[in-house]
Amino acid sequence: MHPLMLCIHMSRERALRLSFAAMSQGVRVRLVEPDQEGQTLGALCGLEAPSPHPIAAQAGEEMLLFAFMDDPLLDRLLPALRSGIAPVRLKAVLTPANRGWNCARLYRELSSEADAMGKR
């Protein structure tokens, strides 16, 4: 599969700015529309068919989800995303464990982890 970055709960303008850095690294970018946030991450990444009746759920903050990338590509992409724009606080990589989650579940998990890290 081709490297993919999902922009979740994000404005089109912000996703467009981030997409320049991602596409320069050969990464496809997809903006997840609010009505798609109830789909599973696997469906959003094209690994399974979208549900005809997704759960009504929305993420509470903008997030990035990286799929089908190896470590060297992520090592190049993350600094490129930080240069010139405000950083995105919540980021994740698609895994077998999270591919069945929707965007709201990903948000809960990532924000909980970020809060725990901030208390250290």
- The chain-wide mean pLDDT, for the chain, equals 91
pLDDT for residue 96: 97
Which residues fall within 8 angstroms of residue 41, CB to CB, at 6 or more apart?
6, 65, 94, 98, 99, 100, 101, 102, 103, 106
Cα separation, 25 vs 4, in Å, equals 11
Q: Point out the least confidently predicted range of 7-11, 59-63, 64-68.
A: 59-63
pLDDT for residue 109: 95
The per-residue pLDDT for range 62-87, each reduced to its tens digit, is 999 999 999 999 999 999 888 767 78
Q: How confident is the model at residue 22 (pLDDT cuts 50, 70, 90)?
A: very high
